[in-house]
Structure formats: structure tokens, C-alpha cells
Amino acid sequence: SIGGNTMGVENIPLLHAENIYKEFSPDATQKKNIRVLKGINFTLYEGEIVSIVGASGSGKSTFLHILGTLDTPSAGNVYYKNRNVQSMRDDELMKLRNREIGFVFQFHHLLPEFTALENIMLPSMVAGEQMKRAKQRATELLCEVGLEERMFHTPNELSGGEQQRVAIARALVNEPHIVFADEPTGNLDSENSEQLQELFLKFNKERNQAFVIVTHSELFAEKSNRILRIADGNFVTP
Ligand code: ADP
Ligand code: MG
């Protein structure tokens, strides 16, 4: 159900977005502001998997970036456990992004000069974790995503599917409550897509982490707890 909770999932809101609007200023070819989001309300509960679907250009990435504090709304508010993101200082926001949130993008954004292991370790080093512990944690995650034999490979020595599995491990290393993914399988063939989707489902089940995933895969969307379809700036009934 749109905006509602899901049976079997505990009713604890992790994140609440209230009346979110987003406009972009026109470029040289346009006169009016582009209104992308028009008053979206959304609550994310602990342990949910929510899929966001919609046509290209409908505002899915814009909405995900606003939820993930990577962009700010033109109007409206985002709350993490009742704390308004707009009232947070920069250092508090950085801490929130580093510890409470994980991101997986369509393009992996791994650092090319670092190994898979080092890429996964980095967010926990940033969080102040000791090297030894960070390495241990990253190694465990590499095994969980099935890449124990690729530990010392750099991103350009990995396939697209392997790169995305490293990106998932990196997103999870600080055990965030929420993972945002923007078309994480957009560049993968169907076999690798399925493998990645199974990992999302597995981590959700085992760790009760919430996932908000923009996807074009109807098959995956159907496996999630809720499907939200964006059209004309708001959620519509699928
Ligand atoms: P989706 O992810 O659903 O494909 P986006 O959220 O990327 O859609 O974009 C929604 C609309 O907002 C598109 O028309 C896009 O061109 C416009 N848009 C996105 N980002 C910007 C920006 N930084 N400046 C101007 N327009 C933008
Ligand atoms: Mg997009």
C-alpha cells in the first residue's frame, strides 16, 4: 500500500519525507522552472525493501538523492528518526551519511587505484575504525558477496557484476540502517542482475537493513515489500 506499513515488519520509522518539492532552474532553452517533485510524502520503516519505479526522467534519482541527503528539496523536510536533516550541522550530516546510510549507484564509483578490500575498508576507516578491525570486517563482507578470491584486485580487473558486489559490500561495511540504490543493476546482464538482487534480499533478511531501490526490474520490484511508482511528480497507484 502506498505510504503504509508492511505486514510482518516492525513499525519503526527510520526516515520520513514530508511534502517534498523539487524544482530545477531553466537552462537557456527553457523559460519556466522544471518542477520534478510535487509534494511527495514517504515513510520508511525498519527492515523494509521499497522499490521505486517510473519512467526515465520522472524524478526517481532526484527523490532518492533528497532522501539520502545528497540533494536538498526546494520545499519540504526529511527526517531521520525525527531529526530534521535541514537542522543538522555539516559534521552531523557527514556522520549520518557515513554511518547510517549506504549508497549503491548504477556506476560503481569505486576508487580505481585501490583494491576491492581497500575500497570496502575505506568508509570504516573514515568512521574511525581501527585498521585491523576494518580489514576483518571488509574481508567478511567480501566473502559474503562471493569475492574472497578477488580481494586484491583493483576495480578494472573485475567484471561489472563483481564491481557492483564490491560496491554493495562497501555500502554495508558500517552497518547502516538504510541502503539506497539507484538502478544498481542498470549496467548488468540478467544473470548478474539476479545475483545482485539476491544479495539485497539476503542482507535485508539477515540484518534487517532497510533498502530503497530505484529499479527497472519488475521482477525484483515484485519481491520487495512495497512498490512506489512516480509519475507527474508524485506517487501513483501502480
Ligand atoms: P529519473 O531518475 O527518474 O530518470 P531524474 O530524477 O534524474 O529522473 O530527473 C528528473 C528530471 O529532472 C529530468 O527531467 C531531469 O532532466 C531533471 N533534472 C535532474 N537533475 C537536474 C539538474 N541538476 N538540473 C536540471 N534539471 C535536472
Ligand atoms: Mg535516474
Which residue lies with its CA nearest to atom 13 of ligand 1?
57
Which bound ligand lies closest to the C-alpha atom of 30? Answer: 1
In 3D space, the residue among 47, 7, 81 whose CA is nearest the CA of residue 207 turns out to be 47
Angle between helices 190-207 and 160-172 (to 10 degrees): 20
Residue 238 pLDDT level (bands cut at 50, 70, 90): low
- Average pLDDT of the chain to the nearest whole number: 93
> What is d(CA 222, CA 238) in angstroms, rounded to the nearest whole number?
12
> Relative to the alpha carbon of 63, which ligand is closest?
1
In the structure, what pLDDT confidence band is assigned to residue 1 with cuts at 50, 70 and 90? Answer: very low
pTM over 0.85: yes
- Residues 89 and 23: their CA atoms lie apart, in Å, by 24
pLDDT digits (tens, 9 = 90+) for 127-160: 999 999 999 999 999 999 999 999 999 999 999 9
Closest residue by Cα to atom 14, ligand 1, is: 57
Res 49: pLDDT: 97
Cβ–ligand 1 distance for 124 under 6 Å, the answer no
| Residues ≥6 apart with Cβ < 8 Å to 118 | 111
For ligand 1, atom 26, the nearest C-alpha belongs to 24
Using a pLDDT cut of 90, give the percent of the chain over it. Answer: 87
How many angstroms does the Cα of residue 128 sit away from the middle of ligand 2? 32
